[in-house]
C-alpha cells in the first residue's frame, strides 16, 4: 500500500512530474521535432529497453531481498514506473515495433501485468493502449501485426483479463485502467480479427462483461463493456453460442428490461442501450439462443417495450424480427401473447414520435423490419387458428393493410427499377459488373424488402380468401400491374435463395416459394 501511495504521489502531487523525472532531452526532442522517425531510431529504442530492463531487474531484486519492508523497495518501484512512462514515446514510431519485438522486451513488459503493485500493472495497461491505439497503427499494417502477434504469443489476453478481474470501479485510477484494458483488446481485434474468438476461448472476459452489464448504475465502463460485447458477438457464431450457454440471453434481456418504461438520460447511455440490442440480435442468430429467448419471455418483453413507446421501440422490433426468422415457436408465442395488434399498428405507421424517428432513414428501417417480421410470421405459422388470426388482420377496416402493402410495393419497386436502369447505364459506360454484383446492388436499393412484400402478397393470395384476392386484383389494376409482375419478383427471389443453412433447407425454401408462384 505504501508503494502504491508513493507512486500516486509521484504521479499526481507534483504537476511538473514529467519534466522533473523523465529523460528531459528525449521528451523535449519529441516536442520540438516534427519528424518522429528521425528522432526515434533503433539506437534510442535500445537505450530505452536497456534502461527499462535494468530498473525491472533492480525492482525484482529489491522485492526478493526485502519482501516485508515496502519502504526498502519503494524507490525501485517509482523508478520502474518512470521507465514505463518513457516507453510510451514508442507510440510515436510504430515502424520500430518489429525491433521492439526482436529485443525481446514484450515478455518483460507483459509480466508486469501480474505485478503485486496494482499501480505498476496499470502503467502497463496504459502503455499497451498507447502502443495499440488505432490512430498510431493506421497505415502501419505490418508493424501492427508483428506487435499484436508477439503480444498474443506472450499471453497478453490472459494477463490483461486476469488483471481486469482485480481492478475496482470504486478507484478512479483503476476505472481508467478498466477502460484502457477494453480499448487495448478492441485495438488488437482491429488488427487481427481472430482475437475476438481467441480472447473468449482463453479467458473469462465474456463472464466479466456479463457481470458489468448486469450492474444497474450507468457509467462509461458499462457503456464500453456493452460495446466490446457487441464486437465479440457480431461475426462469431462460436462466441454467440458460448455466451448463450453462460445464460447470456437472460442477462442481456435483464439489462434491456431496465429501459422498458424509461428512456436513457444521456446520449452515452442511449448508445449503451443500442449496443445491448446489438448484442441481443447477434445472440439470436443461433437456433438454441432463439429457444432461450422464448423461454426467458423475451417476446413478451419486446412487446411491452413497443407498447411503452420509449426510445427502444425500434430496437425491440429488430430483436423480434431476429427471434422469429426461421423459428416458428417464436412466431407462435408472438401471436399467443397478442403481438399482432402492436406490430400491425406500427406497420400502419402508428409509431411514437421522437426526435430520432423524424429522420427518413429511421422510418425506412422500421418499415423494412416490420415487413420482414410479417413475412417471418407467414413462414412460421402455416395452419390453425393462429394462421386465421394473422390472415384476418388483412381483412380488417376494408383491407387497409393490403392497401399499405401495395403502397410499399410500389415505392420499393420504383426504387429497384431506378437502380436497375442506373446499373444498365454504367454498363453502357463500359463499367463491367458481374451478375452477382448487380444483384447485390439491387438488394441494397430495396429489392430484398420488395421480395418479402411479394411473399406476403403471395401468402394472402394462397389463402384463397375472396375479399383479399379481389382487393389485390383491384390494386394491381389501378397501378397498371398484373399478377405476373409479382410472379417475376418471386421467381428472382426463388432463383437466388442461398445454401447458407444447408442444401436441404435451400430446397425446402425454394419449394415453398414455388408453391406461391404456382398459386398465381
Q: At residue 39, does pLDDT exceed 90?
A: no
Specify whether the CB–CB gap between 374 and 339 falls below 8 A. no
> pTM of this prediction?
0.86
Confidence bin at 27 (pLDDT 50/70/90):
very low
* Domain annotation covers residue 101: yes
- Mean pLDDT of the residues in the chain: 89
Percent of the chain with pLDDT over 70: 90
Q: Give the model confidence (pLDDT) of 402-435 as tens digits.
A: 999 999 999 999 999 999 888 888 776 667 777 8
Query: Vertex 41, ends 36 and 42: CA angle to 5°?
Result: 150
Domain span including residue 102: 1-203
End-to-end CA distance of the chain: 80
Q: Give the model confidence (pLDDT) of 75-90 as tens digits.
A: 888 999 999 999 999 9
* Domain annotation covers residue 250: no
Q: Give the model confidence (pLDDT) of 229-267 as tens digits.
A: 999 999 999 999 999 999 999 999 999 999 998 999 999
pLDDT for 8: 53
* Domain annotation covers residue 346: no
Q: What is the distance between the alpha carbons of residues 450 and 488, in angstroms, rounded to a whole number?
A: 12
How many structural domains is the chain composed of?
Answer: 2
Specify whether the CB–CB gap between 106 and 100 falls below 8 A. yes
pLDDT for 1: 46
The last residue of one of the domains, among 164, 179, 203, is 203
* Domain annotation covers residue 271: no
Specify whether the CB–CB gap between 321 and 343 falls below 8 A. no
pLDDT for 73: 79
* Domain annotation covers residue 484: yes
* Domain annotation covers residue 385: no
Nearest-CA neighbor of 280 among 226, 327, 329? 226
Q: What is the distance between the alpha carbons of residues 236 and 348, in angstroms, rounded to a whole number?
A: 36
Handedness of CA 452, 454, 456, 458 (dihedral sign): negative
Q: At residue 19, does pLDDT exceed 60?
A: no
Q: Which residue has the cell 407462435?
A: 332
* Domain annotation covers residue 151: yes
Q: At residue 17, does pLDDT exceed 50?
A: no
* Domain annotation covers residue 31: yes
User: HSE on the CB side for 364, CA within 13 Å?
Assistant: 11
Q: At residue 63, does pLDDT exceed 60?
A: yes
Q: What is the distance between the alpha carbons of residues 117 and 395, in angstroms, rounded to a whole number?
A: 71
The last residue of one of the domains, among 203, 231, 253, is 203
Instruction: Identify the CATH number of the domain in which residue 50 sits.
Output: 1.25.10.10
**DSSP helix/strand/coil, 248:** helix
**DSSP helix/strand/coil, 434:** coil
pLDDT for 358: 60
The last residue of one of the domains, among 185, 203, 221, is 203
Query: Residue 406 contacts by C-beta under 8 Å, 6 or more apart in sequence?
Result: 457, 472, 475, 476, 479
Amino acid at each position: 500500500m505504501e508503494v502504491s501511495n508513493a507512486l500516486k504521489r509521484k504521479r499526481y502531487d507534483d504537476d511538473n512530474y514529467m519534466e522533473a523525472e523523465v529523460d528531459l532531452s528525449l521528451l523535449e526532442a519529441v516536442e520540438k521535432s516534427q519528424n518522429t522517425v528521425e528522432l526515434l531510431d533503433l539506437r534510442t529504442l535500445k537505450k530505452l529497453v536497456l534502461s527499462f530492463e535494468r530498473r525491472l531487474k533492480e525492482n525484482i531484486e529489491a522485492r526478493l531481498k526485502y519482501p516485508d519492508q515496502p519502504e526498502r523497495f519503494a524507490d525501485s518501484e517509482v523508478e520502474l514506473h518512470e521507465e514505463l512512462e518513457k516507453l510510451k514515446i514508442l507510440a510515436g514510431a510504430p515502424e520500430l515495433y518489429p525491433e521492439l519485438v526482436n529485443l525481446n522486451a514484450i515478455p518483460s513488459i507483459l509480466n508486469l501485468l501480474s505485478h503485486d503493485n496494482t499501480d505498476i500493472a496499470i502503467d502497463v495497461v496504459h502503455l499497451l493502449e498507447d502502443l495499440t491505439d488505432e490512430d498510431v497503427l493506421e497505415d502501419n499494417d505490418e508493424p501492427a501485426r508483428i506487435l499484436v502477434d508477439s503480444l498474443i504469443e506472450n499471453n497478453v489476453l490472459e494477463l490483461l483479463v486476469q488483471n481486469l478481474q482485480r481492478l475496482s470501479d470504486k478507484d478512479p485510477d483503476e476505472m481508467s485502467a478498466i477502460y484502457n484494458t477494453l480499448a487495448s483488446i478492441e485495438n488488437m481485434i482491429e488488427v487481427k480479427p481472430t482475437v475476438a474468438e481467441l480472447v473468449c476461448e482463453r479467458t473469462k472476459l465474456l463472464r466479466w462483461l456479463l457481470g458489468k452489464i448486469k450492474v444497474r448504475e450507468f457509467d462509461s465502463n458499462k457503456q464500453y463493456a456493452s460495446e466490446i460485447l457487441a464486437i465479440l458477438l457480431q461475426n462469431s457464431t462460436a462466441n454467440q453460442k458460448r455466451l448463450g450457454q453462460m445464460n447470456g440471453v437472460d442477462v442481456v434481456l435483464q439489462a434491456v428490461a431496465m429501459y422498458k418504461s424509461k428512456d436513457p438520460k444521456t446520449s452515452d447511455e442511449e448508445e449503451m442501450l443500442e449496443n445491448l440490442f446489438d448484442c441481443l440480435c447477434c445472440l439470436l442468430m443461433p437456433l438454441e439462443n432463439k429457444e432461450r429467448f422464448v423461454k426467458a419471455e423475451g417476446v413478451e418483453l419486446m412487446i411491452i417495450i413497443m407498447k411503452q413507446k420509449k426510445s427502444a421501440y425500434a430496437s425491440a422490433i429488430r430483436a423480434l424480427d431476429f427471434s422469429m426468422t426461421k423459428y416458428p415457436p417464436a412466431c407462435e408465442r408472438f401471436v399467443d401473447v397478442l403481438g399482432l395488434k402492436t406490430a400491425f399498428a406500427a406497420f400502419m405507421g402508428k409509431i411514437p414520435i421522437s426526435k430520432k424517428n423524424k429522420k427518413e432513414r429511421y422510418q425506412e428501417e422500421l418499415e423494412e423490419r416490420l415487413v420482414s417480421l410479417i413475412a417471418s410470421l407467414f413462414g412460421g405459422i402455416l395452419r390453425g387458428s393462429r394462421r386465421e388470426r394473422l390472415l384476418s388482420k388483412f381483412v380488417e377496416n376494408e383491407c387497409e393493410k393490403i392497401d399499405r402493402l401495395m403502397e410499399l410495393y410500389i415505392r420499393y419497386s420504383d426504387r429497384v427499377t431506378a437502380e436497375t436502369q442506373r446499373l444498365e447505364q454504367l454498363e453502357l459506360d463500359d463499367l463491367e459488373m458481374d451478375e452477382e454484383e448487380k444483384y447485390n446492388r439491387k438488394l441494397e436499393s430495396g429489392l430484398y424488402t420488395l421480395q418479402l412484400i411479394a411473399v406476403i402478397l403471395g401468402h394472402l393470395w394462397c389463402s384463397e380468401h375472396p375479399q383479399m384476392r379481389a382487393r389485390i386484383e383491384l390494386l394491381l389494376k389501378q397501378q397498371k400491374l398484373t399478377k405476373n409482375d409479382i410472379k417475376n419478383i418471386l421467381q428472382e427471389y426463388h432463383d437466388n435463395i442461398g445454401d447458407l443453412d444447408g442444401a436441404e433447407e435451400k430446397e425446402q425454401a425454394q419449394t415453398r416459394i414455388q408453391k406461391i408462384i404456382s398459386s398465381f
